[in-house]
Amino acid sequence: MSLLSVQSLTTALRNGACIVDGISFDIAAGETFALLGESGCGKSMTALSLMRLLPDGVVNAGGAVRMDGAALFDLPEHEMRAVRGSTMAMIFQEPGLSLNPVMTVGQQIAEVLVLHQDLKGLVASARCIELLDQVGIPDSPRRVHEYPFQLSGGMKQRVMIAMALAGSPKLLIADEPTTALDVTIQAQVLQLLRDTQDTTGMGMLLITHDLGVVAETAHRVGVMYAGQIIEQATREQLFAQPLHPYTQKLFAALPDARHSGQALAAIPGSVPPLGSIKLGCRFTPRCDRAWALCNEQTPEWTVIDGRGVRCHLYGRIEERELRTEEESRESGEPATHHSILNPQSPILNVEDLRVHFPIRKGLLQRVVGQVKAVDGVSLSIAPGRTLALVGESGCGKTTLGKALLQLIAPTAGSVQFDGHELIGSRLARAKMQMVFQDPYASLNPKMRVAEILEEGMSALHIGGDSAARQAHIDGLLDKVGLALDSKWRYPHEFSGGQRQRIAIARALAVSPQLLICDEPTSALDVSVQAQILNLLKALQEELGLSYLFITHNLAVVEYLAHEVCVMYLGRIVERGTSEEVLRSPRHPYTQALLAAVPRIDGEGRKYIKLEGDLPSPANPPQGCHFAPRCAQVMPVCAQYPETTNISATHGVHCHLYSGN
C-alpha cells in the first residue's frame, strides 16, 4: 500500500485556468519521488495542493489525495491542521522568508513539539537541541537561543529541516531544499535526508530542477512541464534513456568538460503560462520534433516497459524515429575558441589585495577588530580568457569582485588593468563591468530597458548623441538575443533568464574588455543556464572578452573556464588550469568541494564530510585557515603554508606538498 497516493490532481485559478492538470503518482514508505522541471511548471503548486495551503485565488478543482489511507481533501480543516507537521511536513524553498524573524530558532521548533508531540518545558528544550545536533548545527545549546538573522543560509535551511522532522512525519515534502546552497552544505543536507529515511522509513517528495540531486537521491522521477507530468520512470530508467524530447533536452543542456568546445543544447523559448494551452502537446512550441498532430491533439499517457510518457512520438512510433541524447548533442557545431592574445601580458593583474572592514564597538565606536574579507589575494587574467573563482558562501568572492571595480575600497594591494594602476582611480571603469547575481535586484524597476542600457553610456560619455546610442542599444539587444521592442518594457515584464540577458547587455553597453560575472546562473533552470552560458561563450569568441567568473557551480566551471582559483576564508588556496584543478585537485578543501558535487554519470568521488562551518573572517584560525576542518591536519599547519608549485601552472597552499 502506498504511503501517498495522488490521482488526477487538478488545481486551477478561479477563472478556470489549470495550474496543475490531472497529475497522478504514488510514494511508498522509505521512497523518494522526485518532481523535476523548470520554474513555472507547477511543481511547488502541486506541493501546496497536497498540503491544502493554496494561495488566494487558487482552488482544488478535482482529483483525490490519500495519505496513509486518509482522504485529505475530505478532512475538515481542524483535522488537516493535525496532519500538517505530523503525518506530512514541508520544507519550503526560501528559509529566510519561511522562518519568523522575531522568534528564536528554539521557539519555532518548540511550536511543532507542543502541537504534535505534546512536549513542553525542559523536555521540549532538550529535544530542540537534539534536533539541531541531528541536522548538523554546531554549538546547538547556544544556537537554539539565536534568531534567524544570526544564521547563515545553510544553517537556516537546516533549521527548516529540524522543524519539519520535529513532528516525526511519515512524508516529507522538500521544495528545492538545496537551491543556492554551496555544494558542501548541499551534500550535508541531502545526506541528512537520506539518513533520516534509512532510520525512520520516511517517504519524501523531492521538488527540484537539479538533475545531479535527482541522480543521487531519488528512487523514481516524474518530469513535469506546464502543469502536467510528461514522463515518469525509475531513476535508472530515466538516466539511462530519457524518452520525452523535453527530458532529453534537459540532459543535453547540462554543461561539462566533454562539450566545452560545443554550444550547449539550450531549449528555445520558455514554459508557456499555466493554463494557456488548451489543445495539443504543451511542449510543441519549443520542440524540434513536433509535427501537425502535436498541435491538433493532446497526447495520451503511454506506458512502455513499466514507465510512462506523454508524447505522440510513442503513440505513433512508426512515423518518427527518435534521436538519442548523444545524437542530439553531436549535432551541435563545435565552437571555435578565441585565440589568446599575448598570454604573457595579462589584462588584469592583482597583487596581495586586501579588503578589511573595521569592527566598531562602544559609545565612541572604537575599532576593536577587523573582518578580513579578502586577505592577500593575487591573480591574473589574460585577454580572451576565463578565470573561475570558486568557494563557499562567505569566503570573499563577491567582495573581491567589487574591490576590483573599486565599488568597495581596498585596504591594501595592487590592481593593474592593462598596465595601469586602478586603486584610487576610476579611469578604467568603462573597461571593466560587472554582471550581478540577482538581475531583478540590480535593474532599476522604474526604468525601461532602453534607459537602463543608455544610463552607463551617458555617465561615461560614450556613444555619441541619443540617436547613435539608440542604434547601439538595438545592436546590443540583438547580440544578447532579445527582441528590439524589449527596450520599451520594464524589468518585471521579463523572465529570470531574460533579465540576466539585459544585465549582460548593460555591461556590454560601454564596450568593456573584462566582465566580472557574479553567480550569473545560480538561480536559473538548467535550460536557461545553457542559454546564458552559450551567450557568454559566443560573446567571448566574437569580442575577445575576458571573464572573472564567480561561482560555486563546478559543472559551469568545467564547461566555461580556462583557469580556476579556489578561495577559502579570504585567501586563494589552489590555482591552476581547469583540467589540473578539477581532474587532479591537491588541496583537501578543493577535494572536498569536488567530492560534494552531485553527478549524473556515477563518476562522483567518495563524499568527504567537512567538519563544522566556515570560520568567521573576523577571527580566522591561526596558521592554515582550513586546519580546523581538515582530516589531514598536522602540527606544521599552525603556520600558514607558502605556495607549492605542482607544475608551471598549478599551485597549492598546503603543507602536504611542501616537501615536493
Cα-Cα-Cα-Cα torsion 165, 171, 176, 178, nearest 10 degrees, comes to: 40
**Is 222 within a domain?**
no
* 8 Å CB contact between 456 and 473: no
Task: Please report whether residue 284 resides in a domain.
Answer: yes
Strands across the sheet with 366-381, in order?
A: 366-381, 348-361, 412-417, 420-421
Q: What is the pLDDT of residues 165-206, one digit of tens each?
A: 999 999 999 998 887 677 887 888 888 888 889 988 999 999
- The pLDDT assigned to 145 comes to 93
Please tell me whether residue 47 adopts helix, strand or coil conformation.
helix
Judged against a pLDDT cut of 50, whether residue 79 lies above it is answered with yes
Asked if 262 and 335 touch (Cβ cutoff 8 Å), the reply is yes
Does 327 have pLDDT greater than 50?
no
With beta carbons less than 8 A apart as the criterion, state whether 598 and 213 touch: yes
Q: What is the pLDDT of residue 107?
A: 95
Q: What is the pLDDT of residue 319?
A: 41
- Cβ atoms of 351 and 413 closer than 8 Å: yes
Nearest to 233 by CA among 310, 317, 328: 310
- Same domain? For 557 and 651 the reply is yes
Q: Are residues 269 and 151 in the same domain?
A: no
C-alpha cell recorded at residue 577: 588550469
Q: What is the pLDDT of residue 383?
A: 94
Domain of residue 495 covers 436-505
618: CATH: 3.40.50.300
User: Do residues 296 and 324 share a domain?
Assistant: yes
Contact 162, 582 (CB under 8 A): no
Which of 303, 330, 357 is at the close of a domain?
Answer: 330
Q: What is the pLDDT of residue 427?
A: 67
Integer-rounded Cα Rg, in Å, for the chain is: 26
Same domain (yes/no): 386, 516: yes
Q: How many domains does the chain have?
A: 4
Percent of the chain with pLDDT over 70: 92
The whole-number pLDDT of residue 554 equals 84
Q: Does residue 576 share a domain with residue 497?
A: no
Q: Is residue 467 assigned to a domain?
A: yes
Is the CB of residue 642 less than 8 Å from the CB of residue 648?
A: no
Give the CA distances from residue 565 to residues 177, 215, 221, 339, 496, in Å, rounded to whole numbers and listed in that order: 28, 28, 36, 22, 28
Question: pLDDT confidence of 259, banded at 50, 70, 90?
Answer: low
Q: What pLDDT is attached to residue 316?
A: 52
Retrieve residue 227's grid coordinates: 502543469
Q: Determine, yes or no, domain membership for 394.
A: yes
Examine the pLDDT at 280 and tell me if it is beyond 50.
yes
Phi-psi region of 159 (alpha: psi -120 to 50; beta: other; left: phi over 0): alpha
DSSP 562: S
Q: What is the mean pLDDT of residues 513-519?
A: 92
d(CA 34, CA 204): 8
Distance CA 390, CA 572 (A): 10
Cα 45 to Cα 354: distance, rounded to the nearest angstrom: 46
491 and 556 housed in the same domain: no
* Mean pLDDT calculated for residue range 79-100: 88
Task: Spell 512-522 as b/e; 16+ CB within 10 A means b.
Answer: bbbbbbbbbbb
| Cβ 300 vs Cβ 315: under 8 Å | yes
In a domain, 279, yes or no: yes
Supply the DSSP string of 268-296, one letter for each residue: PS-PPPTT---SS-TTGGG-TT--HHHHH
Residue 270 and residue 150 share a domain: no
Give the pLDDT confidence score for residue 602 in this predicted structure. Answer: 55
CB count within 10 Å of CB 245 equals 25
What is the reported pLDDT for 336?
35
Instruction: Over range 379-399, report the average pLDDT.
Output: 92
Per-residue pLDDT of 620-658, as tens digits, reads: 899 999 999 998 999 999 999 999 999 999 999 999 998
Please check whether residue 569 is in contact with residue 653, taking contact to mean a CB–CB distance below 8 angstroms.
no
CA 71 – CA 57 distance, rounded (Å)? 23
Between CA 35 and CA 209 the distance in angstroms is: 8
For residues 15 and 143, the answer to whether their CB atoms sit within 8 Å is no
Does a structural domain hold residue 156?
yes
Contact partners, residue 492, CB within 8 Å, separation at least 6:
440, 445
**Residue 592 in 3-state DSSP?**
helix
409 and 543 share a domain? Answer: yes
Write down the pLDDT at residue 425.
73
Domain boundary among 300, 330, 360: 330
Query: Phi and psi for 457 in degrees, rounded to 5?
Result: -65, -40
Binned at pLDDT 50, 70 and 90, residue 320 comes out as very low
- The whole-number pLDDT of residue 328 equals 42
Query: Any residues with CB less than 8 A from the CB of 552 and at least 6 apart, and which?
Result: 182, 183, 390, 391, 392, 393, 519, 522
Gap between the Cα atoms of 503 and 188, Å rounded = 33
Q: Are residues 522 and 627 in the same domain?
A: yes
Confidence (pLDDT) at 105: 94
pLDDT score recorded for residue 331: 41
Q: With respect to residue 633, please indicate whether it lies within any of the assigned structural domains.
A: yes
Would 374 be classed as within a structural domain?
A: yes
List pLDDT tens digits, range 588-605: 999 999 988 887 765 545
Q: What are the tens digits of pLDDT across the range 544-584?
A: 999 999 988 888 898 899 999 999 999 999 999 999 999 99
pLDDT in tens, 328-367: 444 444 333 333 333 457 999 999 999 999 988 888 888 8
Residues 6+ apart with CB under 8 A from 361: 368
When the pLDDT of each residue in the chain is averaged and rounded to a whole number, the result is 86
Amino acid identity of 299?
P
User: For residue 265, what pLDDT is reported?
Assistant: 81
In the chain, how many H helices and how many E strands?
23, 24
- All three cell numbers of 259, joined, read 562539450
547 with 615, same domain?
yes
pLDDT for residue 322 = 41
pLDDT digits (tens, 9 = 90+) for 405-435: 999 999 999 999 988 898 877 667 788 999 9
Question: Domain check: are 417 and 323 in the same one?
Answer: no
- Residue 143 scores a pLDDT above 70: yes
Helix (H, G, I), strand (E, B) or coil at 659: coil
Residues 269 and 386 in one domain: no
SS3 for 596?
Answer: coil
* 510/268: higher pLDDT: 510
Lowest mean pLDDT among 198-207, 288-297, 461-470: 461-470
Q: Tell me the one-letter amino acid at 69.
A: G
**Domain termination residue (choose one: 505, 531, 550):** 505
